[in-house]
Each structure stands twice: as structure tokens, then as C-alpha cells.
Chains A and B, each alone.
Chain A
Amino acid sequence: QKEVEQNSGPLSVPEGAIASLNCTYSDRGSQSFFWYRQYSGKSPELIMSIYSNGDKEDGRFTAQLNKASQYVSLLIRDSQPSDSATYLCAVNIPGFQKLVFGTGTRLLVSP
């Protein structure tokens, strides 16, 4: 079983719609969860972090965490073509200075 799983996509949404990106993880002890955005040919950039169950909102982005289900998601409201990128889910391995990444979900927002 992969430690962090994401659907590779592409996920296609029209401009203005809500994009929903999902991630599951295998280590029940994980406490820290992150979403990174990576544009084609660029390096990953942190956009959201979440540590507690529930929702965390930052502008058009909402991260959702459900530790019981080992599930973390990222919602992007009012999607823009500039949001087209690969979104990487990352989970901190407890007790280690180690961040495990998923393979990423490619998001395409069409005008």
C-alpha cells in the first residue's frame, strides 16, 4: 500500500467551478498534512497546511482533514485557468524528519 495516494488525473473543471482534490494516507499516526502546487517546469510551492480535523480556509482554498478516515482534501473555489497545475499532497511521518509525497493530481481549468 502506498503511503500517500492521489488520483493522477487530469481533473478537468470549467473556470468558476469548484475543484476537489483528494488524498488518502496510510500512517494513522500522521499529524501534519500539506498541499503543494507545482506548475509545469517549476518547483513545488506550499499553499496549505492543516493539522487538526475539520476545515481550514485561506482565500479560495479550503483544506479538509478527517483523521479517522485518513483522508485530506483540497477545495479550490472559483477555479481560474491560472490554477492549472499539479497538486501534491504531503504527509509528515511521525517521529521522523520526513515528508512523504503523493504522485500528485493534475488539474486543468478551462476558460
Chain B
Amino acid sequence: ETGVTQTPRHLVMGMTNKKSLKCEQHLGHNAMYWYKQSAKKPLELMFVYNFKEQTENNSVPSRFSPECPNSSHLFLHLHTLQPEDSALYLCASSRGGAGGTSTGELFFGEGSRLTVL
């Protein structure tokens, strides 16, 4: 059982569709993250949850809606996306709380490759 599991691994959707990305961590961590990775750009932090509470929303458009029902699960709900939202979406988890050094020690899932047509 891998540490951080993401599903689906690949997703193709139209601009009017609604879909969700799922992430589950089996590491006993307290914090979970969504990152976006696009070609030629640095990893972009989207959302941070610490003990199920959202602690960071990095000016992400409302067409992306996160949900964290417990410390082990994280979702990213997608609706009316744009083609420029096509990217690799990475979920990560870490042990630490806000601002702690261990928050830099991230464990990533394999990512969900999203294509918006």
C-alpha cells in the first residue's frame, strides 16, 4: 500500500463537466496539500489542509473546490474548467503543523494528469 494514493491517474473532461480528484494518505500525517504542475512552471501550491481545516488558499479560482473530510482524505472537485487548467495535479501530505520545518518534508502521490478539452 503506497503512502499517498491518487485517483484517477488520468482524466479527460470537457469544459462543462464536473469531476473530482481523490487523494488518500496512509502515513498518519496531519497536513495535506494540492499542487498544480504545468510544463515549464514551478509547482504551484493550491490548497493546504491542517487537521482537516483549510489553512491556505493560494488565490485559486472557484472552479476548483477542495474538500477534506478527515486527515487521511482530500478531494479536489472540478467544474467548468478551462483548457489552461490542463496539468498534473499532485496531492501531498506532511507531518507538521503550520509553519513547522516538517511541513517541507512532503510525500507526494503519483498525480492525476488532467486534460480539459
Given A4-B42, A43-B90, A88-B43, A97 and B56 contact (CB-CB distance below 8 Å): yes
Please determine whether A99 and B45 come into contact, CB atoms closer than 8 angstroms: yes
Q: Which of B11-19, B63-71, B75-83, B108-116 contacts A (4 or more CB under 8 A)?
A: B108-116
Contact with A along B13-39 (1 / 0, CB 8 A): 000000000000000000100000000
A8 to B40 alpha-carbon distance, docked (Å): 9
How far does the Cβ of B111 sit from chain A's closest Cβ, in whole Å?
A: 5
Residues of B within 8 A of A66 (CB): none
Contact with B along A29-68 (1 / 0, CB 8 A): 0011110100000111110010100000000000000000
Given A92-B104, A97-B99, A43 and B109 contact (CB-CB distance below 8 Å): yes
Given A4-B42, A94-B99, A104-B42, A99 and B108 contact (CB-CB distance below 8 Å): no
How many contacts A-B (CB < 8 Å)?
A: 68
Given A103-B40, A104-B42, A46 and B106 contact (CB-CB distance below 8 Å): yes
Query: Interface range on chain B: under 10, 10 to 19, 20 to 34, or 35 or more?
Result: 20 to 34
Given A45-B108, A97-B50, A103 and B41 contact (CB-CB distance below 8 Å): yes
Which of B58, B98, B108 is A44 in contact with, Cβ under 8 Å? B108
Residues of A within 8 A of B103 (CB): 92, 97-99
Taking beta carbons and an 8 Å cutoff, which residues of B are in contact with A?
Answer: 31, 40-43, 45, 48, 50, 55-56, 58, 90, 96-101, 103-111
